[in-house]
Structure 1
Amino acid sequence: MLSGKKVATLPWLLGIAGLIPFVGLAGVVVLSLPGWQGIALQAFLYYSAVILSFLGGIHWGVAMSLDHESSHHFSSRMVVAMAPSLLAWPALMLSPQFSLLALMTGFLLIRLYEAQSDSVERLPAWYTSLRTLLTVVVVVSHLSILLLLMLA
């Protein structure tokens, strides 16, 4: 999975397991009958919002445990920690297309933030590879549903 980096098996297993609802629900939306599509789409959006909010919580914990309260890193990370929830919650009140776009954008933005050097320094070495993989699958899942809705 990783070249030259220590692999943390449990986070990888849990991360991959966390993809099951994204991939499974996207599959149901894309491949099933209309009645099931609506239920699966709603479940997908709710799960996406919950997981995006969870990613913010990771950075809240990083700020509390690794940054001094008076530092710029602490302040900026605390603001970033709140942003996913403040994006995810109202996204659930939008049309499905805009909700998918908003949530997908949130996943991409938090991943870009995590790729910055000050984040990389504060996160475990295995985290970057895991989050990159998870983000790619999550974004592709959002895009597959979005494409279906745009073509319908």
Structure 2
Amino acid sequence: MPMDDGAADRKPAGRESAPVSLWSMAVFALAPFPVAAAVYGYGPPSYAREAVTVLLTWSAVVLSFLAGVRWGLESGRRVPRRGRLAVSIGFALAAWVLLLVRWRFDLSWVLGAYLVVFMLQWLSDHAAPNTASRFPRLSTAVTSAACISLAIALDQSIRAGLKG
């Protein structure tokens, strides 16, 4: 069976709407972001450590998932672009490295770094030329939910002056 040379590249971004089932799965998959951010920022102080651990771990998981989606779309091309594949892996690695080193830095820096990685991931998917963006609104919603939740936690972390 011949491989497609990037059929997703042919359709202009923003024209293909994600099915309702994908939106439903995304809502459930994104639930840990606002729940963890709310518990960390506004819940009982005794749950703050666990909540921020969930938030940071889920950030690493979702960034790895998004990197895997990018890898899969790029790998579907007749000639995958090595640079784009490397960038995909870079985002996943950055996410897990941040999780592993979080205890060495102030939590505010770690949360800010995750915000930056999410935004760079989104920009690489949407602003770079000739990217195979499937369901761009869905990936924007995923990134927005993550970034808003991380920003809420960042605000609370700055106010509290806590370490990872």
TM-score between both structures, scaled by the size of structure 1: 0.85
| 2-structure distance, mates of 1:18, 1:27 | 16
- CA positional deviation for 1:85: 1.7
1:97 corresponds, among 108, 128, 133, to 108
TM-score between both structures, scaled by the size of structure 2: 0.79
Paired amino acid for 1:81: S
- CA positional deviation for 1:128: 0.7
1:33 maps to what in 2?
44
| 1-structure distance, mates of 2:18, 2:30 | 19
Q: Calculate the aligned-residue CA RMSD, in Å.
A: 1.7
Paired amino acid for 1:77: R
| 2-structure distance, mates of 1:57, 1:32 | 33
Asked if the contact 1:30–1:144 (Cα under 8 Å) also holds between the matched residues in 2, the reply is yes
| 2-structure distance, mates of 1:18, 1:8 | 15
Higher helix content, 1 or 2 = 1
Q: Flag as ranges the 4+ runs of structure 1 deviating above 2 A.
A: 3-7
- CA positional deviation for 1:64: 1.3
Q: Tell me, which stretches of 5 or more residues in structure 2 are unaligned?
A: 1-13
Q: String of CA shifts for 1:26-60, please: whole Å, max 9, x gaps.
A: 11101112110111111111111111111111111
**Corresponding residue pairs, total:** 142
1:81 maps to what in 2?
88
Asked if the contact 2:18–2:138 (Cα under 8 Å) also holds between the matched residues in 1, the reply is no
1:150 maps to what in 2?
158
